[in-house]
Structure 1
Amino acid sequence: MQITSIGHAGFHIQTAAGSILCDPWVNPAYFASWIPFPDNTELDWKALGDCDYLYVSHLHRDHYDEQNLIENVNKDATVLLPDYPVPDLKRDLERLGFHKFVETTDSVKHHVSGPKGDLDVMIIALRAPADGPIGDSGILIDDGETVVFNMNDARPIDLDVVKKEFGHVDVHLLQYSGAIWYPMVYDIPRKSKANFAKQKRQRGMDRARSYIEQVGATWVVPSAGPPMFLDDELYGVNDFNTGSEADQASIFPDQAEFLEQMKTHGTDDGEHHRGLMMVSGSTAEFRGSDLLEIEHPYPPEQVFGENKKPYLDRMKEKFAPIIAAEKATWAPADGEPLLPQLKALFEPIMAESDLICDGIGYPVGLVIGDETFVIDFPQRSVRMREEGDGKYRYGFRIAPELVRTVLRDDEPDWVNTIFLSTRFTTWRIGGYNEYLYTFFKCLTPERIQYADGWFSEAHDDDASIELDGWTIQRRCPHLKADLSKFGVIEGDKLTCNLHGWQWDLKSGRCLTSSGHEIRAERTDEVQTADEKVGS
């Protein structure tokens, strides 16, 4: 099996049964904020796109590059399709001209036969509203000799099925640096922002190392790493590897830093879980767990460490005209009144989502230019700010050209456009409100009905585990991760490393968001109570 990194979470996997193109992203994404790091524009995208199979993990724009798919990818390729409850991904690919699909079942191994040979394939599909834009996934591929698990940026809650169906994994392609806007866009003091960013950065790498231990692959390739932020107003979001205080405020560690973390924490011991550096254009040849050879288009150290800042400076100059051309496609800042457009978009969605609106529970401020709009979730209405409204518990300040662009383009997901661009500011009083961001992801009747129904389903939390002196429910109240694998207790505080949510175990109160209480007792108190019942 030959695996070529094509940038970010993208890989070209050559097997005897055919070639598989995974998440081919090259064009700037999220309002030209995100650009693949290192640069992958020099790759031969026509050759890469002449593939037998296409796998797009989900609809995030750093995985689903519509322009690249249209211009360079063979429309006769067979699409390996994740099992999502809302078929937006299939519809979009059909719209682009793809017409051959293998529609997989979540976490079920499929034997795929093609003209060049057979493959065993399994796609683990995550289907909670918080997973990507209604879905995220990872894929396992077995060509009879080598097993690769391309997890990109999916966060599976249970990986037992991997070993059950495929045994040992030879190569693990793994995200370690998340896609998020927190805390960079928050209106908080700079020192607090830096501290929050440092915590967020480390939690992401801790989570990735937990996955390394669970999968137990021979080789680990850090992928789906940080993008480059090359626009003037966003340039400081990069980690330049200078060791400065500003770098510590970046939530985006790079491949070199994560490989060092693996060594520091014992997940790269020279025998197991060996970290492997790949940059855009690197090609590695595997036979089972044996790495036969690896070739790089240039020495990787040219873009890391002390060379990273000069490299980013060169990329900033290279991409300046591309970013300017993208900005020229945005809607003008001025135009028709926004209130009727916002009402037409949001109010029908609110009418379909009682549970989500009640979960948000308060009006949210939306400052667009010099106008302030109120998304009044309790009243299911959108209005202008009124005297006496006071300070909103949650608010967003967004440039009018961005809002007018997503309205013009009928975007169903502001999270996957405006928010991931980091081209906005926000504030909140109290904890993170997941219901609010779920609402902004689900701006179609089909999406919101699915999300509202998902939240309304009863989830079993009767099973318990013992962890560091506490007896707690096994499943995380957030997205049902197995806390025996992802839970970390420090004192009286529990952190679920899957998404970084935290709880005060004495009270059961969630420290990250409203609601989502956890069932927890000190184990010695549970045992004492059981002894009293027994006597």
Structure 2
Amino acid sequence: MKVTSIGHAGMLIETTAGSILCDPWFEPAFFGSWFPFPRNDQLSAELTEKIEHADFLYVSHLHGDHHDEAWLRSHLRRDIPILLPDYPTREQRRTLSELGFTNFVRTTDTEELEIAPGLKVAIHIESSITDGPGGDSALVVIADDAIVVDQNDCRTTDLGQLRAHGPVDLHWLQYSGAIWYPMVYEMDDEAKADACRAKVKAQFARAMRYVEHIDAGAVAPSAGPPCFLDPELFGLNMIDGDEASIFPDQSAFLTMLAEAGRTGASNIPGTTIEILTDGEANRIEITHPIPDDEVDAIFTDKRAYLERYQADWLPWLDDMKANWTAPTTDLLGSLTSWWEPLLEIAPTLRQQVGGNVLLRAMADDDHEQLDVLIDFPEGDVREHAGEPFSFRFDIDRRLVETVAAQRAVDWSNSLLLSCRFVAWRDGDFNEYVYNFFKSLSRERMRRAEAEAVRKVAPPDADAMAAEDDIQIGDYVVQRRCPHRNADLAAFGEIDGCEFVCTLHGWRFDIETGACLTAENEPGLQIRRA
């Protein structure tokens, strides 16, 4: 088996039974703030041909540095078989179908599936609200007497599952930051620097826990960091080590791996890592697309490398910014009509936010500043009139107008990861504020509310037992899922001969109610209407 890095979390896995293209990302993401590092816009024609004619496609999740919509739209055949993670909702399939893709291979969470003779995969999903209601996933590939784990940035909570398929030869793993905290926050410089150092330390500690538990023959740094070529954001790159940044590059992680007695697999776009099975124990062989000293220079002379990269892309950045959408719409009216119905169905989430959030759409050449108050206690969205608030976001109005016009359902993905904003909060981090901005559709908000209920206000057992059955399609079922009490009026649906609770993806036989997801678990009371 051979794995070729194509940048960030992207890779091409080649086996004797077929190839799998994973998370191809080439177009700058998040309003042109994130660029792949090292750059992957100079791949060889031979590798590009292999990428565009892969046998299978795997997209781990919907974030823009993994799901590159512009590239996917124009570079792959529409009937390429797509390995679909077993997410509780069908959002990813719908999104890919809207791009014209037609061939989907459904997988079952953690279960091995032979997709070609001699080629097995298993996809492990994480569907907690932390990853956004769209979820995240990791891929295990089993072929040619070797096993590769592509964990990318999936924060699986079961550290043993990914190793359950057998000894792992090569583990691709995120180690760097992929968030806006603390760089965008209004903080004292020293406090921000301390917070960055603490964040990096935590990132490395988490990554090393995965390394220790999966215990692969070699670990390949993956899924970051991005680099920032816009002059306004260039200071987010970690070059000298004293920047207020959470984005260390792979040289720091490889040093940590070596100090722990682990084998690290240095890689840049175009690097191939081949797993050789010609002896008693598998070993890896690494081949870079350029001489080793030039690979080293990317990291030892990083500023010069980034400045050359930046010079090539500055015209693109200028054009991109000039075309940011600034529609002449009633922004306040648009946000009010969009968000108030969502707030209405999320009383527990609102309670957990517990205060007002001020969104300041900052002035530009075409628009005045608009201050929008999201009143979580009351469930209102209105123009700010001096009321106190606990959280504040200052964002270029053009960007707010753009994501509002797009009806973007996940502002974490579409906007906040750009780091093109300033934030302030009165007190500690509140996950429910960001869960709101990740959940701007009825489907997502129902999941966010259910997660909040599960955490802070689980339904009373006696009250649940007294609830009436409900009808879905041609079947009458109990109101609550036997797994975690999800309200099946919101999350139940029929999928062929199975009944599915889409909150966590649990499945039941539609005729007998037997649980199909896990053995020895309670079944579902279900009958034909």
Alignment TM-score, normalising by the size of structure 2? 0.81
Q: CA deviation at 1:47?
A: 3.2
Rounded to whole Å, the distance in 2 between the matches of 1:276 and 1:409 is 40
- Paired residue type of 2:297: Q
Number of aligned residues? 444
- Residues 1:160 and 2:160 aligned together: yes
User: What secondary structure is seen at the aligned counterpart in 2 of 1:85?
Assistant: coil
Q: Percent identity?
A: 41
| Aligned partner (choices 308, 324, 328) of residue 330 of structure 1 | 324
**Equivalences for 1:41-52 in 2 at 5 Å?**
41-43=41-43, 44=45, 45-52=48-55
Q: Give a deviation string over 1:440-465, Cα, whole Å, max 9, x none.
A: 0111101111221133236999xxxx
What's 2:288 paired with? 296
Rounded to whole Å, the distance in 2 between the matches of 1:321 and 1:128 is 39
**Equivalences for 1:226-375 in 2 at 5 Å?**
226-240=225-239, 242-243=240-241, 245-246=242-243, 249-264=244-259, 266=260, 269=261, 273-288=262-277, 290-291=282-283, 293-298=285-290, 299=292, 300-305=295-300, 307-332=301-326, 335-369=328-362, 370-375=369-374
Q: CA deviation at 1:340?
A: 0.4
- Residues 1:73 and 2:76 aligned together: yes
Q: Give a deviation string over 1:166-225, Cα, whole Å, max 9, x none.
A: 121110000001210000000111111111001101110111011000000001001112
Say whether the 8 Å CA contact 1:21–1:55 is kept in structure 2: yes
What's 1:489 paired with? none
Q: CA deviation at 1:362?
A: 0.9
Q: Give a deviation string over 1:58-87, Cα, whole Å, max 9, x none.
A: 000000001111111232221111111221
- Paired residue type of 1:123: I
Rounded to whole Å, the distance in 1 between the matches of 2:317 and 2:356 is 35
Q: More displaced, 134-143 or 282-291?
A: 282-291
User: What secondary structure is seen at the aligned counterpart in 1 of 2:371?
Assistant: strand
Say whether the 8 Å CA contact 2:15–2:144 is kept in structure 1: no
Rounded to whole Å, the distance in 2 between the matches of 1:395 and 1:458 is 25
What's 2:429 paired with? 432
User: What secondary structure is seen at the aligned counterpart in 2 of 1:379?
Assistant: coil
Rounded to whole Å, the distance in 1 between the matches of 2:351 and 2:149 is 39
Q: CA deviation at 1:122?
A: 0.8
Note closer, same or farther for the CA distance 1:153–1:354 as it changes in structure 2 (3 Å cut).
Answer: same
Q: Give a deviation string over 1:361-407, Cα, whole Å, max 9, x none.
A: 111111112221100011111111124x13x2111001100000001
Q: CA deviation at 1:253?
A: 0.7
- Residues 1:174 and 2:165 aligned together: no
Say whether the 8 Å CA contact 2:271–2:288 is kept in structure 1: yes
Say whether the 8 Å CA contact 2:60–2:85 is kept in structure 1: yes
Note closer, same or farther for the CA distance 1:459–1:102 as it changes in structure 2 (3 Å cut).
Answer: farther
**Equivalences for 1:102-251 in 2 at 5 Å?**
102-113=105-116, 117-132=117-132, 134-164=134-164, 166-240=165-239, 242-243=240-241, 245-246=242-243, 249-251=244-246
- Paired residue type of 1:231: D
**Equivalences for 1:413-424 in 2 at 5 Å?**
413-424=410-421
Q: CA deviation at 1:132?
A: 4.2
Say whether the 8 Å CA contact 1:86–1:447 is kept in structure 2: no
Note closer, same or farther for the CA distance 1:455–1:144 as it changes in structure 2 (3 Å cut).
Answer: farther
- Paired residue type of 1:65: D
Rounded to whole Å, the distance in 2 between the matches of 1:169 and 1:109 is 15
What's 1:492 paired with? none
Say whether the 8 Å CA contact 2:133–2:448 is kept in structure 1: no
Say whether the 8 Å CA contact 1:46–1:72 is kept in structure 2: no
Q: CA deviation at 1:337?
A: 3.0
Say whether the 8 Å CA contact 2:148–2:168 is kept in structure 1: yes
- Residues 1:385 and 2:390 aligned together: no
**Equivalences for 1:458-469 in 2 at 5 Å?**
none
Rounded to whole Å, the distance in 2 between the matches of 1:54 and 1:76 is 10
Rounded to whole Å, the distance in 2 between the matches of 1:199 and 1:458 is 27
Rounded to whole Å, the distance in 1 between the matches of 2:237 and 2:351 is 37
- Paired residue type of 1:98: F
Rounded to whole Å, the distance in 2 between the matches of 1:162 and 1:408 is 40
- Paired residue type of 1:61: G
Q: Give a deviation string over 1:104-158, Cα, whole Å, max 9, x none.
A: 1112222223xxx332211110011111452001010101411000000001101
What's 1:60 paired with? 63
Say whether the 8 Å CA contact 2:84–2:93 is kept in structure 1: yes
| Aligned partner (choices 397, 400, 408) of residue 405 of structure 2 | 408
Rounded to whole Å, the distance in 1 between the matches of 2:414 and 2:161 is 33
Structure 1 segments, 4+ long, off by >4 Å, are 458-461
Alignment TM-score, normalising by the size of structure 1? 0.80
Say whether the 8 Å CA contact 1:355–1:456 is kept in structure 2: yes
Alignment gaps of 5+ in structure 2 = 363-368, 459-529
What's 1:477 paired with? none
- Paired residue type of 2:396: A
Say whether the 8 Å CA contact 1:21–1:48 is kept in structure 2: yes
Note closer, same or farther for the CA distance 1:403–1:460 as it changes in structure 2 (3 Å cut).
Answer: closer
Rounded to whole Å, the distance in 2 between the matches of 1:139 and 1:57 is 8
What's 2:472 paired with? none
User: What secondary structure is seen at the aligned counterpart in 2 of 1:186?
Assistant: coil
What's 1:399 paired with? 396
Rounded to whole Å, the distance in 2 between the matches of 1:9 and 1:452 is 31
Say whether the 8 Å CA contact 2:132–2:439 is kept in structure 1: no
Say whether the 8 Å CA contact 2:92–2:134 is kept in structure 1: no
User: What secondary structure is seen at the aligned counterpart in 1 of 2:89?
Assistant: coil
- Paired residue type of 1:129: I
Say whether the 8 Å CA contact 1:59–1:132 is kept in structure 2: no
Note closer, same or farther for the CA distance 1:458–1:238 as it changes in structure 2 (3 Å cut).
Answer: closer
What's 2:480 paired with? none
Q: Give a deviation string over 1:494-535, Cα, whole Å, max 9, x none.
A: xxxxxxxxxxxxxxxxxxxxxxxxxxxxxxxxxxxxxxxxxx
Q: Give a deviation string over 1:77-104, Cα, whole Å, max 9, x none.
A: 2111111122111111111122111111
Say whether the 8 Å CA contact 1:183–1:197 is kept in structure 2: yes
Say whether the 8 Å CA contact 1:238–1:250 is kept in structure 2: yes
Rounded to whole Å, the distance in 2 between the matches of 1:311 and 1:285 is 27
User: What secondary structure is seen at the aligned counterpart in 2 of 1:232?
Assistant: coil
- Paired residue type of 1:259: L
Rounded to whole Å, the distance in 1 between the matches of 2:415 and 2:215 is 37
Rounded to whole Å, the distance in 2 between the matches of 1:292 and 1:111 is 24
- Paired residue type of 1:257: A
